[in-house]
Structure 1
C-alpha cells in the first residue's frame, strides 16, 4: 500500500500526487495507490488513515505499507510511519505543525476547487497531540527539502530528519515545481521498501 497524504487545503488532484499516481500506473501498481481527500480535522485525518491501513492489512497483508506526505501531509506521514514502523517519503514536510498552522485558523477554500475549508482553533491542539520526536531510525525516511521553500524552514526539516535518505534541493519552492526531476529516486525508494518491508 502506498498511502499519499496531501498538504493543507490541497487534494488528491495535487500536482505531485497526480505525477506519482501516473508513474505507478505505468508500473502496474495502481491497485497499491491510495490517496484520500483528507478532512480538515487532524484527528479525523489520522483516524481515516488508520482505517484505510487496517482495511489494507486485512485484505492484502502481504503488501507492505509506504507512506508519502507533502507539507502538512508529511507531518501526518511521519506520525503514521512511527506508529506502524513503516517507511515514509516526506516532501517539504511541516515539522512544527501546531505552531505553523495556528495562523491559518479560519475559513478558506481548497486550492483545486471552490469548496470551503474551515480550520478550527481546536485543530491546533489536535496537531500538537500528533507531534513526534526525531525518528530513531531515520533511514526509513526519504526527505526532499527545498532551500527555496517560501512557506517552511528547510533547516528544521533537515535537522529533524537528520540521517534520513533523500536530498536537500538547492532552490526550488514549497510545491517542488521541478518535482519531475526527483521522481525516479522517490520511486526507487518506494519500490525497494515494497520489496523488503514487512508490516508489524
Structure 2
C-alpha cells in the first residue's frame, strides 16, 4: 500500500531548515504532491516533542504513513514507528541520546540560526530514557542510512541497533550526510510514496 503521509523529524539543535529536511520536502512536493508532508520544529523537551508528534499524526492512517528521522530525529522516528507500526527511514540515527546528550545540558544555539538559543535541561535526559524502545518488532519496516565517517555517532552501534533492517552502510560521508543527494533515491524507493 502506497504511503500517503510522511513525517520528517530533525536532529538535536537542528530544524526544518536542515538540508536533508528541505531536500525531502522539495521532492515530496515536486513528485508526490498528493502526499501529506509534515516537518515540525521540535521543542527541546523530549516529552513535549513526543506529545507534539503524537498529536500531529493522531488521525494519520497507520498503514499508509511513514516517518523519516535524522540523528535525534531517528531516535524519535524509531519510537514512533514501534508505536504506530509504520515504515521508518533513519539517517545516522541516535541510539542512546540520554547518554550522548548528557554533556550538552545548559544553553545551546540552534544550528541554522545561532541567534536562536534554547536551554537543554537536566530532566530532558530522563525524558529521553522514557522514550527508549526495545528490540524492533518488525525490522523489515526500517531502512537506515549509516555513515562510517560519522564524527558524532558510532556506526557499529547504529547498525547493531537495527538487526534485520535494510541498511545502507556508507564507507565515508559524515554525520550530516553531506552526500545525501546520492542516497535520496534509495530513501524514496523504500518509502513508496503515492504517485502524483
Q: Is the CA contact 1:21–1:30 (under 8 Å) kept in the aligned structure 2?
A: no
Q: Is the CA contact 1:7–1:70 (under 8 Å) kept in the aligned structure 2?
A: yes
Aligned-partner SS, 2:181: helix
Hey, which bits of structure 1, 4+ residues long, moved more than 2 A?
28-31
Instruction: Determine whether 1:133 maps to 2:134.
Output: yes
1:15-164 superposed matches below 5 A: 15-29=19-33, 31-54=35-58, 56-57=59-60, 61=61, 64-113=64-113, 114-164=115-165
Aligned-partner SS, 2:98: helix
Structure 2 portions without partners, runs of 5+: none
How many angstroms apart in 2 are the aligned matches of 1:38 and 1:95? 18
CA gap of 1:105–1:26, structure 2 versus 1, over 3 A, is same
Task: State the shift of 1:28 in Å.
Answer: 3.0
Aligned-partner SS, 1:90: strand
The structure in which a higher percent of residues are helix is 1
Q: Is the CA contact 2:144–2:167 (under 8 Å) kept in the aligned structure 1?
A: yes
Q: Please report the TM-score for the alignment, with normalisation by the length of structure 1.
A: 0.91
Task: State the shift of 1:88 in Å.
Answer: 0.3
Post-superposition CA distance 1:12-44 (Å, at most 9, x none): 000000011111111133651100000000000
How many angstroms apart in 2 are the aligned matches of 1:25 and 1:124? 36
How many angstroms apart in 2 are the aligned matches of 1:163 and 1:74? 17
Report how many residues are paired.
Answer: 190
Provide the aligned C-alpha RMSD in A. 1.6
- State which drifts further: 127-136 or 6-15: 127-136
Task: State the shift of 1:63 in Å.
Answer: 7.4
Post-superposition CA distance 1:42-98 (Å, at most 9, x none): 0000000000001x43xxx49721011000000000000000111100000000110
Aligned-partner SS, 2:81: helix
CA gap of 1:27–1:175, structure 2 versus 1, over 3 A, is same
How many angstroms apart in 1 are the aligned matches of 2:103 and 2:41? 22
